[in-house]
Copies of this chain bind each other. A is one copy, B any other.
């Protein structure tokens, strides 16, 4: 459990706030505070720890040698959003990385996750990535999820405890309850870097994000490694709203891209130069063209719900928590047994800047 004095301090420093949503009252860590990660949620008698930060290695060979003394599992990293799913009273709910109860994920999870898991294991928390073109949060989606969304379990935690179940136990539960899981590529040692390089090159060609390494040991050390495809894709998808992200988002990704190429021996072809240039330029052109036509820069999202109430709750949550983004509902209608919600995210920073620049405004920089 968490030390009560730490919680009190965190509240005092406004790193933890009380939330009331979908009938639940709880305390949410809005930032890391001391050893408590952002997203940690404290319900009446249950603590669900935030999902911890995983460090990134930029170089595969040196990174594995440096970080892992023992064998490690290699699993796919799926490009989606991170949730923690668990039973509270008689309901199964999903928390976002930041610790909000997500009405969308909570609504959809029974279609993807065998709820018997939670009946048999009320003390366990599934950590999963939700990915696909019809999610309300992120604009990217892995190529192997062609419509709607899918869930990919990658860790299991215990309530009131930090840390994860051992890999074998997780795999056993995944199999027993037929949980949808990330692809597990197996157990490796840092000597097998040749094989891993080949694997990463293959994932890169398939447009997949990368891998997570998990040491098979008490310490359970971890690291992640991302393909150059994913770095390019991040730039391409977000360029339209370039001002929303910290500018180092872009410089970091360019550096990672180059280090991936360097290590994998990928040639600097004209095609690759072109792809990076295109990633930036096309998104910005799209923003300018859209602004000229509609006087705002936005992107339309679409996602489906079983319950209309959850769609309404998601709109309310997003309108309350979005920064520099205006969330405008377009439509909510029944279609093939679902409530289909469409809404726009208007990028206020980009809209404001283009409004200033395109009308001939002066900038001092």
Residue numbers of A with Cβ under 8 A of B are: 53, 55-59, 61-67, 223, 242-243, 246-248, 250-252, 254-255, 257-259, 261-262, 268, 270, 272-278, 280-282, 284-285, 288, 357-365
B259 & A357 in contact (Cβ 8 Å cutoff): yes
CB distance from A353 to the nearest CB of B (A): 8
B62 & A365 in contact (Cβ 8 Å cutoff): no
In the A-B complex, the 8 residue pairs with the smallest Cβ-Cβ separation, listed nearest first, are A66-B360, A62-B360, A273-B277, A55-B362, A276-B277, A247-B247, A277-B277, A63-B360
State the CA gap A252–B280 with chains docked (Å). Answer: 12
State the CA gap A276–B262 with chains docked (Å). Answer: 19
State the CA gap A272–B280 with chains docked (Å). Answer: 11
B288 & A268 in contact (Cβ 8 Å cutoff): no
A58 & B363 in contact (Cβ 8 Å cutoff): yes
A272 & B276 in contact (Cβ 8 Å cutoff): no
With A281-B268, A282-B268 as given contacts, are A362 and B223 in contact (CB-CB < 8 Å)? yes
A282 contacts across to B, CB distance below 8 A: 268
A243 contacts across to B, CB distance below 8 A: 251
Pick from B62, B250, B273: contact of A247, CB below 8 A. B250
B258 & A284 in contact (Cβ 8 Å cutoff): yes
B273 & A288 in contact (Cβ 8 Å cutoff): no
State the CA gap A363–B277 with chains docked (Å). Answer: 26
B273 & A364 in contact (Cβ 8 Å cutoff): no
CB distance from A235 to the nearest CB of B (A): 10
B285 & A276 in contact (Cβ 8 Å cutoff): no
Other than the known A262-B288, A276-B276, what 11 A-B pairs have Cβ atoms closer than 8 Å?
A56-B364, A57-B362, A62-B358, A62-B359, A62-B360, A65-B360, A252-B365, A254-B280, A258-B280, A261-B281, A272-B277
With A276-B276, A277-B274, A281-B276 as given contacts, are A250 and B252 in contact (CB-CB < 8 Å)? no
**Can you spell out 23 A-B residue pairs with CB atoms less than 8 angstroms apart?**
A53-B364, A56-B362, A56-B363, A56-B365, A58-B357, A58-B361, A59-B358, A59-B360, A65-B360, A66-B361, A67-B362, A242-B254, A243-B251, A247-B247, A247-B250, A252-B365, A254-B284, A255-B284, A258-B288, A261-B281, A273-B281, A274-B277, A276-B281
State the CA gap A76–B56 with chains docked (Å). Answer: 46
Most chain B CB within a 10 A radius of its CB, from A66, A67, A261, A276: A276
Pick from B223, B255, B281: contact of A242, CB below 8 A. B255
A285 contacts across to B, CB distance below 8 A: 258, 262, 268
State the CA gap A64–B361 with chains docked (Å). Answer: 9
A251 contacts across to B, CB distance below 8 A: 242-243, 247, 250
State the CA gap A156–B53 with chains docked (Å). Answer: 56
A223 contacts across to B, CB distance below 8 A: 362
A258 contacts across to B, CB distance below 8 A: 280-281, 284-285, 288
A274 & B270 in contact (Cβ 8 Å cutoff): yes
CB distance from A205 to the nearest CB of B (A): 19
With A55-B363, A284-B254, A362-B223 as given contacts, are A273 and B268 in contact (CB-CB < 8 Å)? no
With A247-B246, A360-B67 as given contacts, are A276 and B280 in contact (CB-CB < 8 Å)? yes
CB distance from A347 to the nearest CB of B (A): 14
State the CA gap A259–B281 with chains docked (Å). Answer: 10
